[in-house]
Chains A and B, each alone.
Chain A
Amino acid sequence: MNVIETLLASAMLAAAPLMLAAIGEAIGQRSGQLNLGVEGVMLLGAFTGFVVVEAGGTVSAGLVAAMIIGMVVGAGFGLATTLLSANQIVLGLGVALAGEGATGYLFRERFGLSQPLLDAGMSRPLHHFAGIPVVGPALFDQRWFVYLAWALVVGIGAWMRYGRPGLILRAAGESPFATEAAGVDVQRVRVIAAIVGQGLVGLGGGALSLVEVGFFTPGMTVGIGFIAIAIAMVGQQRPLRIAGLAIVFGLLRGSGTAIQLTNVDVQTEFLELLPYAGVLVLVVLMGRQVRLPRALGLAYDRESRNA
């Protein structure tokens, strides 16, 4: 593989966990919930998946476990922000911090300072076509999970756009009181959205440890969870746009490795800056396009009337 092929292939791989997490966050945002805990939920997913596989489970079992832990946290988040009117921002920050603390703590308690690696072989179903120049390895030499992730992106995109549930979801985030008046239980919609959304975030975390790298370290997400929140906003909560932005992020992150391969003398730390600065520039350039549901972040309280 030449440099460009490597770059494209690693970008596609790095994009998968991020786009799942960002789309999960987008589902919550559509329903009117801003969950800043993505980083913590991703770590919980990554850790849970890692523990399952390390204990002898299959990679699929690990990914399912990662998704389930995400759904559990999502259920808690959804119930707390609706029934108890918990503040979404504070709760999200708490989830981010507690998730990072819990996974770091449990990892250190169980593995100490050792760093077990997983031998998580995953089949590459389309690798026969990988010989195509330039885009071959990126498109066809990927592990099966990457194709599953894309299937989810397209499926969720169609469901959000064309189905009645997608309409209800958006309505709950734009105008919860009108939605309630139309006979929809807004709190239920938000709880379900939180469960499904955070399930995807957990799955994204599992993909990070099990598919992309094959190990877990405390704090391994290094901000990917927060980047997911940013691209969910910039991508206007639309799955296909989010996936596109995730690939841009993957390219920025992969370009560091690619540039080093070409022997150009650049400091690696400068290259680490690229993805974050890139997302920031993106937010600035597309700032006017950032569209947030009108009731985002506000607890929906049936009894109050100020919306």
Chain B
Amino acid sequence: MVIRSAAQSLLVVVGAFVSGAVVLLLTGHNPLLVYLELIERTLLRRSGIEESLVAMSPVLLAAIAAWIASRVGMWNIGIDGQIVAGAVAAGAIAPHLGAWPVWLMWLACAVAGVIAGALWALIPAMLRVRRGVNEIVTTIMMTYVAYSSASWLIKGALKDDEMVAPATRIVDVARRLPELPSTRIHIGVLVAVVACLTVWILSRWTAIGMLSRVAGEAPRAAHRIGVPVDRYVVTAFVASGGVAALAGVNEVIAVRGSVQADWRPPYGLAAFGVLFLARRQVAGLIPAALLLGMLEYGATVLPRSTGVAPNFFPLLEGLILVFLAIVNWRRIVPRGRSLARSEGAT
């Protein structure tokens, strides 16, 4: 069963890469060389494996967020906005906590970021259960509101005058998350993996996990047996936004040290590629996210060594989604609630 699922997902990836190869051929690149270089740079070098793991962490967090929302039958398409909300919150407070012990600063940043991301997800969730407004549209709009309010804040109230490009004040390298001994892998990567395991345990061995599944897959039945469906939907959606925001926090306290005004995280749509490559199995999220992490890292190194424009990699991710949708095998994507009504709304 597991092997069959993995083989089918692999087939999707192969399909996307073959289509990508056609695009490369048509634009005058040798696809074989490009793909071999991608494998060499990401899998055959120690630094490549480490950087791919680092690049995996935000993709994995975004995918967990997508998974949590899909568990209660909701589409969180505003993950990128929640990431930005989390990053801005962390980037706003981090420079003011210079006197605090570092671990306390990290904790404060994480808490602030999670709250910001959760609030960002709360609005669409409340609109869904209270007013029956479809969450797909509202989450997307919230993302663009997040982008423009972030650049408004960063170019105004949060601007660091020492930086040329508008950004929040940078966190010293010494005060960022430490790396595992003699590697480039920062602790944030472990946090993402631990988050994944936690969600897996919650979903598998607790009543909350079971009931949230019922609330998502059979809302009317859940309502009959006394499950507060709306509360599950809102809670899960808020948790989804909070987990997504951790990816933004990581960006501030581990990767870049600050948020730039024009930062547009590329993880929200990729998260759905991961979600369905993993066939909505929590354990599958890690290998699927690692694959996309390799593509993200490849996009940063391959342009220099092969001359392929970096935009090729989002194209590959899009093709993976297209193939996933087509080769749906009827089961991996939830048939879903009717988009026209919300059963939860009373």
Contact = CB atoms under 8 A, between A and B. Distances in A.
- Co-complex (A, B): yes
B196 to A, nearest CB: 21
Contact of B137 (A96, A277, A283): A283
**B contact face: mostly helix, strand, loop, or mixed:** helix
Nearest to B28: A109
B115 interface: no
B133 A267 contact: no
B144 A89 contact: no
A57 interface: no
Nearest to B144: A276
Contacts of A89: 75, 136, 333, 336
Contact of A109 (B27, B134, B269, B323): B27
Contacts of B138: 280, 283-284
A40 to B, nearest CB: 7
Interface in B322-336: 322-326, 328, 330, 333, 335-336
A90 interface: yes
B340 A270 contact: no
Nearest to B146: A276
B133 A90 contact: no
A181 interface: no
A63 interface: no
B276 interface: yes
Given A226-B141, A273-B152, A90 B324 contact: yes
B209 interface: no
B18 interface: no
Task: Give the most central of A89, A101, A106, A267: most B CB within 10 Å.
Answer: A101
B155 A267 contact: yes
A21 B333 CA distance: 27
B178 interface: no
A40 B338 CA distance: 25
Interface residues of A, number: 58
Given A233-B137, A273-B145, A273-B148, A108 B311 contact: yes
Nearest to A91: B325
B148 A105 contact: no
A84 interface: yes
B314 A104 contact: yes
Interface string A69-110: 000000000001000111111110111111111101111110
A287 B152 contact: no
A298 interface: yes
Contacts of A88: 325
Contact of B134 (A98, A233, A267): A233
Interface stretch (A196-204, A208-216, A288-296): A288-296
A110 B156 CA distance: 37
B134 A292 contact: yes
Contact of A97 (B75, B142, B152, B321): B321
A106 B27 contact: yes
Interface of B: 23, 27, 75, 77, 127, 131-134, 136-138, 140-145, 148-149, 151-152, 155-156, 261, 269-270, 272, 276, 309-326, 328, 330, 333, 335-336, 338-341
Given A95-B322, A233-B137, 10 more contacts: A87-B333, A89-B136, A91-B322, A93-B77, A93-B269, A94-B323, A101-B314, A101-B317, A226-B144, A292-B134
18 contacts: A80-B325, A87-B333, A89-B333, A90-B276, A91-B321, A97-B269, A97-B270, A97-B321, A98-B315, A98-B318, A98-B321, A98-B322, A102-B311, A222-B144, A229-B136, A280-B141, A294-B340, A297-B338
